[in-house]
Amino acid sequence: MSTATDDDLWSAIGDPTRRRMLDLLLSNQAGTATTLSQHLPVTRQAIAKHLGVLDRVGLVEATQTGREKRYRVNEAQLGRAVAQLNAVGDLWDARLRRIKQIAEAIGRSNERSG
């Protein structure tokens, strides 16, 4: 996927309401805008818009059930997001270890010269 797609993915995940919706969908296996709105402090229409965002980035998949769409989490796409987050975490862990090494070296140098 492109960087723009990844930016859209992380923007979608960055919203607290959408993260809560993903949690609810994962715990209930699936849900509709109506069922999700019963658990969140936003309107059904707002839920539908959030579901549209999650659908566009591939985090949820919809199937038509009567008059409503039933959504479930696309676990492959969520797994991809988790893998990316782990990779970023590993990169930052390495950077922080390097910063610590530099700071310790500066500290030792200052102790010897002081």
CATH number of the domain enclosing 25: 1.10.10.10
Beta bridge partners, 70, equal: 63
Cα–Cα nearest to 51, from 41, 39, 37, 65:
37
The confidence band for 109, taking pLDDT boundaries of 50, 70 and 90, is confident
Q: Give the whole-angstrom CA distance, residue 112 versus residue 6.
A: 48
Quick check: 84 pLDDT over 70?
yes
Quick check: 52 pLDDT over 90?
yes
Quick check: 1 pLDDT over 60?
no
Quick check: 5 pLDDT over 60?
no
pLDDT at 3: 54
Q: Cβ contacts of residue 57 below 8 Å, gap of 6+?
A: 5, 8, 9, 12, 77
Determine what percent of the chain is predicted with pLDDT higher than 90. 69
Q: Give the whole-angstrom CA distance, residue 89 versus residue 85.
A: 6
Which residue range(s) make up the domain with 94? 3-113
Q: What mean pLDDT comes out for the span 56-78? A: 94
Count structural domains, the chain: 1
Q: Give the whole-angstrom CA distance, residue 2 versus residue 7.
A: 9
Quick check: 4 pLDDT over 70?
no
Cα–Cα nearest to 65, from 41, 34, 42:
34
